[in-house]
């Protein structure tokens, strides 16, 4: 797979038949991060950090950028399986920017409820149009076919994991088959399936406030001002649940000693 060097990294717009069309900063940042991950082997957190550290990057875009990047990386196997039946070009032969745009588009269409289909498709097409004029029609056709497809393999819910056929777990949880086998052998069928389901659950971040530096309300208000979605943890007066966070804002709180990380809610 190739990653063309003529991609205009700083462009936030692409010109198509109908004139100038905008690409959201969050999607553009996610696209560039994914190109680094799949094209150059960059670690996910470093690829995201590179985007977050750009001077023109907006803090309010961090949540969507992170969701797109981490989601595409996590669900890569399943996303590719959705793409294969509708593409004449094999996944292994696609240029990296084209494949990244397709994976992003499919992830938004099939695994993100709050993203309108038209936005997922049109911006994926525009991202590819920046890279090449030869693939944007293919990307549009593939995504529209996936949008209307009825029998695609979809992620298993935690309830479905407990009784799904063993040979479907790897694909529909987006794990390698050998990993599924090892976990089921090591932990047993019931516990192993529960572990596989738990590993796919979205992890929640909790902060524990340092009362010597200030109150929980002060930390809550500061994070909210920085566009973080945070709430109190009932029954634990010094804990804050971070539902959607801006990395820089959270790191600043930690660096000042106002709070510390806690792996999960008490």
What are the pLDDT tens digits along the chain (266 aa)? 655 443 433 344 444 444 446 789 999 999 999 999 999 999 988 898 888 778 777 766 777 888 899 899 999 999 999 999 999 999 999 999 999 999 999 999 999 988 899 999 999 999 998 877 678 999 999 999 999 998 899 999 989 999 999 999 999 999 999 999 999 999 999 999 999 998 887 766 788 899 888 899 999 998 888 778 889 887 888 898 887 766 667 777 887 888 887 754 33
Q: Where are the domains of the chain?
A: 13-148, 158-199, 205-262
CATH 3.30.465.10 fits 13-148, yes or no: no
The enclosing H or E element of 260 equals strand 259-262
pLDDT reported for residue 3: 55
pLDDT reported for residue 19: 46
DSSP string, 20-67: EEE--HHHHHHHHHHHHHHHH---HHHHHHHHHTSTT--GGGHHHHHH
Q: In terms of Cα–Cα distance, which of 212, 221, 213, 226 is closest to 240?
A: 221
Task: Compute CA 236 distance to the chain's CA centroid, rounded to the nearest angstrom.
Answer: 30
Query: Strand pairing of 259-262 and 229-232?
Result: unpaired
- CATH of 205-262 among 3.90.1560.10, 3.30.70.1170, 3.40.80.10, 3.40.50.10310: 3.30.70.1170
CB-based contacts of 39, cutoff 8 Å, min separation 6? 1, 3, 96, 97
Length of the chain: 266
């Amino acid at each position: 797979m190739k990653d063309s060097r003529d991609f205009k990294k700083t462009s936030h717009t692409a010109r198509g038949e109908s004139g100038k069309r905008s690409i959201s900063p969050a999607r553009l940042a996610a696209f560039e991060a994914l190109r680094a991950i799949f094209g150059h082997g960059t670690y996910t957190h470093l690829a995201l950090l590179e985007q977050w550290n750009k001077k023109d990057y907006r803090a309010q875009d961090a949540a969507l950028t992170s969701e797109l990047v981490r989601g595409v990386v996590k669900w890569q196997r399943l996303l590719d399986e959705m793409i294969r039946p509708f593409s004449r070009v094999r996944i292994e032969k696609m240029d990296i920017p084209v494949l990244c745009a397709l994976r992003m588009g499919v992830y938004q269409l099939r695994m993100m409820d709050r993203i309108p289909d038209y936005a997922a498709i049109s911006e994926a097409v525009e991202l590819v149009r920046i890279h090449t004029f030869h693939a944007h029609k293919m990307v549009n056709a593939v995504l529209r076919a996936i949008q209307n497809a009825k029998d695609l393999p979809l992620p298993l819910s935690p309830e479905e994991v407990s009784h799904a056929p063993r040979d479907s777990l790897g694909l529909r949880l987006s794990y390698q088959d050998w990993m599924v086998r090892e976990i089921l052998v090591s932990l047993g069928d019931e516990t192993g399936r529960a572990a596989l389901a738990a590993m796919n659950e979205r992890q929640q971040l909790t902060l524990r406030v340092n009362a010597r530096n200030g109150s929980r309300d002060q930390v809550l208000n500061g994070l909210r001002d920085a566009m973080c979605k945070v709430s109190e943890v009932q029954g634990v007066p010094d804990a804050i649940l971070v539902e959607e966070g801006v990395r820089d804002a959270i790191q600043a709180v930690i660096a000042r000693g106002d709070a510390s990380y806690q792996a999960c809610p008490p």
